Amino acid sequence: MEMKYFPAVEINDAPQKGVKKVTLTYTGDSGKEEAIIFLAALPQGLTAFSSVCSHLGCIVDWDSQKEEFVCPCHGGRYDINGNVIGGPPPAPLDNLPIETRDGKIFVGIKV
């Protein structure tokens, strides 16, 4: 697998606070594919996280009321920095590289 960068959002559409769920669409080995990622506005700047739970690979979602990522499969919980705060996940959410160019935020994923 190699790291490729895909456009996620226009810079003006990036979250200024909180978390934004984004679906990246790209062409992979088996045709059109999608990857769900999260853009989080943190004090240190914009960060991107994979939506794949480190426990068994389920897709997490952002709970804006609790301000945490939650895995619906086995109750894994992560804070806004992607760190495990509850449940069975053995590791934090994967942090994804970000590049800014041509007025857009690009996120790197392994394809």
- pLDDT by residue (tens digit) across 43-57? 999 999 999 999 999
Using 50, 70 and 90 to split pLDDT, how confident is the model at 8? Answer: very high
* 110, two tokens: 């392994």
Q: Are 95 and 47 in contact (CB under 8 A)?
A: yes
pTM over 0.75: yes
pLDDT at residue number 47: 97
Biggest CA-to-CA distance, the chain? 40
Of 1-5, 7-11, 78-82, 87-91, the poorest mean pLDDT is in 1-5
- CATH assignment, 3-110: 2.102.10.10
Residue 32 or residue 84, greater confidence: 84
For the chain, the structural domain boundaries read 3-110
Q: Which two tokens stand for residue 24?
A: 């990246």
